[in-house]
A = this chain, B = another copy of it.
Amino acid sequence: MEVRVMPTQPLAIARTPFAPFRSPEPSASDEIRLVGVAKSFGRDQAIYAEGDAADFVYKVISGAVRTFRVLADGRRQISDFYLPGDVFGVELDGERRSGAEAICETVLLVARRSAVAEDPAQGQRLWRHALRQLRRSQDQALTLGRRSASERVASFLLDLAQRLGSGDELELPMSRQDMADYLGLTIETVSRTVTQMQGGGLIRLAGCRRVQLTRPAALTELCE
């Protein structure tokens, strides 16, 4: 895992463990407080790989991250995407069960796992964080197991729009391939579904990454 120290962070903060960077919003009751250093990752750069030691936890400062598992023959399932403010990399034991990569230029706050997991003041927050992740994973299982391609794409766009908090306008940080591997589809099916939604007036595209949800209610209805 090769990592470049982020050039835009003051160096004193980025490299001294004794005057560390602190995650914001310490007052929000569910906000996990991480104390660590900022690190910067390039597009498609690995943050950790399956099987690595799980010594650190991360918070996204800017950019976006995917976590994923791959089968022996290369089929990939993206477990989740992480956006600014999200915490990821908390594992049950000392070994990574999935890989993590930066989707685009990304800055992360990196904290020692031990400092987080052994802090009794964080116990409740870690528990609730795990339960939130679980809820998301179960939502995804419902989507993967029982929804059609257009329902999958619709629920994905709505979820992302809500998390980005940008109203009905959103900038996709990930490629069609990433979307496909999250939704259990192929890149072609995602592409066809998106153009079909555009044809139906549900969304408008300005370049393939910029999406406007013109009829969000119709999208919601698609998800039932």
Contacts and interface: CB of A to CB of B under 8 A. Distances in A.
Interface of A: 69, 71-73, 75-77, 79, 90-92, 97-98, 120, 123-124, 126-128, 130-135, 137-138, 140-142, 144-147, 181, 183-184, 224
A208 B111 CA distance: 51
A92 B73 CA distance: 36
Q: Which 4 A-B pairs have the closest CB atoms?
A: A145-B184, A130-B130, A144-B144, A137-B137
Nearest to A184: B145
A116 to B, nearest CB: 11
Contacts of A71: 142, 146-147, 224
Residue of A92, A124, A133, A181 with most chain B CB atoms under a 10 A cut-off? A92
How many monomers of this chain does the complex have? 2
Given A91-B131, A130-B134, A135-B92, A146 B76 contact: yes
Contacts of A126: 127
B141 A79 contact: yes
B224 A146 contact: no
Residue of A123, A138, A183 with most chain B CB atoms under a 10 A cut-off? A138
9 contacts: A71-B142, A73-B224, A76-B146, A92-B128, A92-B135, A120-B123, A123-B127, A137-B141, A144-B184
A75 B126 CA distance: 33
A95 to B, nearest CB: 11
A79 B136 CA distance: 12
Contact of A127 (B127, B181, B184): B127
Contacts of A92: 128, 131-132, 134-135
A62 to B, nearest CB: 25
Nearest to A224: B72
Given A133-B134, A137-B134, A145 B97 contact: no
Given A72-B224, A91-B131, A145 B144 contact: yes
Contacts of A224: 71-73
A79 B127 contact: no
Contacts of A140: 141
Contacts of A72: 224
